[in-house]
Amino acid sequence: MTSKRRVIIDYLQITAGTVITAVGINGFYVPNRISDGGVSGLGIILFYVLHIPVWITLLVVNLPLLWLSHKLWGGRVGTRTIYGTIMLSVAVAVLSVHAFTHNTLLASVYGGLLSGVGLGLVFRSRGTTGGTDVVARFLSHLVPVSMGQGMLLIDFFIIAAFGFVFNPTIAMFSLIALFISTRAIDVVQEGVSYARAFTIVTQRADAIAQRILTDMDRGVTRLGGTGEYTGEHRAILYVVVTRSEVTTLKELVYDVDPSAFVVVGTVHEVVGEGFRKPPLEE
């Protein structure tokens, strides 16, 4: 894929992501007074307390945060971030959708899902929508917390503010929305868990590797290892397969070496031969 085409696709995905997020905000969060935190959560509080439109809060808070990031840490603020920040405000202002439901639980679930999918698309395109990451970075310079802990702390205080301004039940529903949106972001960026990674410690590595290559037509990576307790050398085979091939590989391994030590892990995204093509080739 050419770099120009990649850039066009990135901006289209950022646009789609901000629109999806805006639908979640306007169609689920605002009518039900819930949020998954962030600047949009602050905007919803100000909307009900001071009657300030949410899109104005998004713009007025996010753009100065981007400027602050540039002044404090230098470097050019990415055009994708500026575009995503402005587009989210525009989308929230333009998309005047009616409430899809007034059931708070459904609003938490579907609002969190739409918000997470939308932001996931933005992040996957190497953009952001501004927000609390700048504040979290500033906070990490003042107190001994990581960026992730800082963002979680900020979201917690914003959701706690929902409990103070509205009621504790609303805050609890907002925590549900936060959890769902976070998981949705991970799924969009990392992919659905469709593959499994096998780590096989065996004394019959040659035979197992040959069977995997011929019977399953899968690649195998051989690593060297030493048992800490026995001090004996052990070959370690690393294999990635689809979920439908898990049972086949287990049976193959134990058919060759019943004493093999096997660890199966979840893989969210696999790029390479036999799976998904690298992004530049798609």
Same domain, 48 and 151: yes
Same domain, 209 and 175: no
pTM value is 0.75
Range of the domain at 260: 195-281
Same domain, 56 and 139: yes
Q: What is the chain's percent helix, strand, coil content, to nearest 5?
A: 65, 10, 25
CA 262 to each of CA 48, 189, 247, 257, 280: distance values in angstroms, whole numbers, following the listed order: 56, 28, 12, 11, 34
Q: What pLDDT is recorded for position 175?
A: 93
Same domain, 175 and 207: no
* Residue at token pair 């103070």: 164
Task: Among 22-31, 94-103, 116-125, 191-200, name the most confident range.
Answer: 22-31
30 in Cβ contact with 54 (< 8 Å): yes
Of the residues 161, 190, 219, the one at which a domain ends: 190
φ/ψ of residue 197, rounded to 5: -105, 125
CATH of residue 236's domain is 3.30.70.120
Same domain, 82 and 162: yes
Of the residues 166, 190, 214, the one at which a domain ends: 190
* β-strand pairing of 261-267 with 233-242: unpaired
Same domain, 133 and 248: no
Across the chain, mean pLDDT equals 85
pLDDT tens-digit readout, 183-205: 888 888 777 667 889 999 988 99
Same domain, 24 and 144: yes
Q: What pLDDT is recorded for position 2?
A: 61
Same domain, 71 and 185: yes
What is the rounded average pLDDT of the residues 59-81? 73
